[in-house]
Amino acid sequence: MTPLLRYLQEGIIPDDKEESRKLKIQALQYEVIDEDLYRRSYLGPYLRCIELKEAEYVIREIHEGICGMQMGAKMVAARAMRAGYYWPAMFLSAVKEIQKRDHCQVHAPVGRKPKTNLIPVAHEQRKPQRLPELQPQQWLEKREPPARRSPESSARRQPEFHVGNWT
């Protein structure tokens, strides 16, 4: 039994003056109803305090249950509070539980930056080739389809530039 629950049920406070002062201030946010601990909420109903085992189940059910939407940890913690649950370190436990799931990590952001510095590789620079200049009347000439060649002749043939028809 936690000191908070013991104080709320039986009124027993710790001997240390500083701890007892902190406990009394903290107890103002909690209430015991039918032997269950509830935390007072500002804008909604009382939130039922649950243990970590139950919290893992709640996170799993919200994250991937029948209406699960595969949302992030902040949203899961907010949904759990809206559903009426509370436990210490809600966000951290939601992060840990979601990171355990492999199918959630498949769509995680992927870094595009290389892990090591890139090393430049020198390469041979080619001289640019000049293309033949065409006159405007040559642009409009009708092009004829290329003639069929045998596979042996096309393998050995060097590319040529033609000024008139492009074949």
pLDDT at 116: 84
**pLDDT in single tens digits along all 167 residues of the chain:** 588 888 888 888 888 999 999 999 989 899 999 888 999 988 778 999 999 999 999 998 888 877 777 788 899 999 999 999 999 889 999 988 888 876 666 666 777 888 888 777 776 777 777 766 766 666 666 566 666 666 665 555 555 555 655 55
Report the alpha-carbon distance of residue 51 to residue 26 in Å, rounded: 18
Taking the model in full, what pTM does it have?
A: 0.56
Report the alpha-carbon distance of residue 30 to residue 145 in Å, rounded: 88
Residue 90: count of CB within 10 angstroms of its CB: 21
pLDDT at 42: 81
Taken as a whole, the chain contains a residue count of 167
pLDDT at 122: 73
pLDDT at 69: 73
Q: Is residue 84 left, alpha or beta, with left meaning phi > 0 and alpha meaning psi from -120 to 50? A: left
pLDDT at 39: 92
Torsion sign across C-alpha atoms 69, 61, 78, 92? negative
Complete DSSP assignment for 31-74: EEETTEEEE--SSSSPEEE--HHHHHHHHHHHHHSTT-----HH
Would you kindly state where each structural domain of the chain is located, as residue ranges?
1-49, 51-107
pLDDT at 97: 87
Contact 85, 77 (CB under 8 A): no
